[in-house]
Structure 1
């Protein structure tokens, strides 16, 4: 069985699936999710409709693959920035800035893919359960940045809610420990890590989401400056050095 799966037929199948996804991404770039149509993909590739359905059973099946790939690529970009910061022995504040910049660079570089996972939900589409772990892999590198912080009064309510979340969902503690091993037996540190990552995601999505949607056009400011100010305020809120 292994030989069959790794043979020419299997390679051809994977190559064709990759070409279908590339064609779908071009449709997304041209017109968003509403433009995604299996019949149009088949036509662009010179395939019949029934032939395409041998590779993806439905539009949602194709969306599942695109969304999984998108989360994985985003996680790779953020993870690479985290590794570089760690190698440079950067401070928590510097690490946060590096992660935020990597997040923005990835999103702005591929706005149609960013909007696929962070834009408006696709009507009638339900993402597969495994996308949760992939989404958490994108945010994971932010967790250790905040674990050793000293949250101020302004973010204390968020920290309190994250403490309650840890108590009600053991899987959340496992996620935090995966990226910030020192917090495994420290609920307070885990709650700080979660609160910081959540707020970082909210800040980034607000700024990056507006930028990728073209909402900052003509507003007279540099997005780099705006994001730097937002991240600086978040670092201050958590007492990051």
Structure 2
């Protein structure tokens, strides 16, 4: 079995400086971050998956995300200065999204209250989202599921579909992932409460920085803090 602690891609020893040549800034990073960035450049989805799965087993999900995937995403975003680099980042993001979905689906269904994590559609569909693959949203879903929280996820395209997901999931807690582009939040909250009474509502996502939220809705922090906050109300 390939040793993921070495600097290799597809089983071939590679100088880290060569792996990182199209980008910069990871020379002093830990080995797993350099290995993951090398797999990104090589578009080696098998190695990407192995590194991430191993990191979850060794560090836990939240630590894997904040200390491994996020640094590589930030590094790649800074270096996305060519079509080839952008294509590598796209392959990496799609691979990570698939890994997160698998972890969410494969996690045992937890006890306690049911949580609906819903990606609220923006009022304007013309704005390109800052996170087009929804990786932060998917990471929160995977973190909750692997923490034995009974989690349902929904990515509705319109408000009527969002309200249908609330009716179908019958949640005890709903986490609204708010878009940076904004949405008509007050009317949405009223519509949700008409369909499901007694809900605990939390909010996360980039829209929390741009929209005014009622005091009754707690804003989630970093990933590990968000998991703790959701767990505390289930």
Fold in common (TM above 0.5) = no
Higher relative contact order (CA 8 A, sep 6+): 1
Give the helix-richer structure, 1 or 2.
Answer: 1
Give the strand-richer structure, 1 or 2.
Answer: 2
Larger radius of gyration: 1
